[in-house]
Amino acid sequence: MTAHQDDFFEQVNRYFDEAASLTDYPAGLLAQIRCCNSVYRFDFPLRRTDGRIEVIHGWRVEHSHHKTPVKGGIRYAPDVNESEVMALAALMTYKCAIVDVPYGGGKGGIKIDANLYTVDELERITRRYTHELHKKSFIGPGIDVPAPDYGTGEREMAWIADTYAALNPGQLEALACVTGKPVTQGGVSGRKEATGRGLFFALREACQQADDMMALGLPVGIDGKRIVVQGLGNVGYHAAKFCREGGAVLIAIAEREGAIMNPKGLDEDAVWRHRRDTGSIQNFPGATNLDTRAALELDCDVLIPAALEGVFTEENAARIKAKILLEGANGPTTPEADPIFRQKGMLVIPDIYANAGGVTVSYFEWLKNLSHVRFGRMSKRHEETNERSMLRAIELATGRSFSEEERNQFAKGPDEGDLIASGLEETMVNAYHEIRNMKLKTPQCPDLRIAAFLAAIHKVARSYAELGIFP
């Protein structure tokens, strides 16, 4: 366990305290918002395929019950620990508040390296973990709704949903006990790429602010921005994909085994296939090999850390040359690094806003499971009919005739994926302007991170006031 991991919850609270000092809320209210409401730690045995018995360590933390259910992913990692899970649960509280998703924050963790277990062993671990949560009422559609995180994905979420449904026969909303499921098991189109797409929307909106770009010496817009991505997992891959398709140039990718660079641009799909086939992103045709540290310190316009926390510290912050830091991971920047970034004039788009795409689309999935209706099912044909009527009116007014291909292109009703992407875009755009305006109207607020924490504190405090708990 590193010192950073051991102190992660306290580091989150340092940001909270800095933002809280800009408010006049009672100390008791701030203490309630700051603390974790419930921490559940448990151990259970696993019989390995070779017959050995191994003890598995698990956690589930519910940080805030100002809104229920609480929401947060489950992380499978060999170095996960209680402080880390508490910190991530706290970040989820603030993240949900920032993007106006009506959840409290939660998080879960299992201390394993998933690569060292068979699929059968992982299934038994996941189902037993779900049983443990259910015994203590730490899971349920209106109680606590997990989701994927580092080391987990759709498969694990399907196992959780199936286990919960078996433990609660006949419960109509059982599928809403967890999000990030396969589409065939109650998931939604676009959940897998949601965090990466949300990062793109955040960056695009930031790059549209002429005053901010002028201060950085950059042109307005995302087109042509040179981007470095750390991590080619789900978040990093999709962030790279959407940014490249949006006009940015992906000049470098960093991973655990090293990094590659090509100033003319990289294609994340081709790099992903190369890594799948060779076991490494290095030696990619046309690219130069680098070590990971050197890639993070490249001269670039945008740096996207999309791996684990604690990447930027007091030791390396001064060497970071990026003008915009878009935090795809949770907690990639330590409190010691932030003042250095401020002094350098960097624009840091903080994790508690930037990577909120995942929980936003999880919210849409939860709503779908509760309503039992696929998004777009009730309105798609109606919208297509209206659009075709409009095309016919244009033809009559102008004398122009549209081809059938043009009709199909222009008069396409939105499907579930379209509506999910639209809802995510609306959420990320509105939230960016909210935290930017919070910074602009609060003279003592030093950056967007503290502005985001400040916005979250205001919203959680308002919830407690509406409950009559605090004045």
Order the strands of the 144-148 sheet from edge to edge: 38-47, 53-62, 104-110, 70-76, 144-148
- Residue 193 CB partners (closer than 8 Å, separation 6+): 234, 238, 241, 242
- Residue 86 CB partners (closer than 8 Å, separation 6+): 8, 9, 36, 39, 61, 63, 107
Specify which residues 141 forms β-bridges with.
Answer: none
List the catalytic residue out of 67, 71, 95, 107.
107
Half-sphere exposure of 94 (CA within 13 A, CB side): 33
Do the beta carbons of residue 260 and residue 281 sit within 8 Å?
yes
Nearest CA to 317 among 353, 346, 290, 291? 346
107 noted as active-site residue: yes
C-alpha 8/C-alpha 240 separation (Å) is 27
Q: How many helices (H) and strands (E) does the chain have?
A: 18, 12
Specify which residues 43 forms β-bridges with.
Answer: 57
Do the beta carbons of residue 138 and residue 60 sit within 8 Å?
yes
- Assign 381 to helix, strand or coil: helix
Active site residues: 107
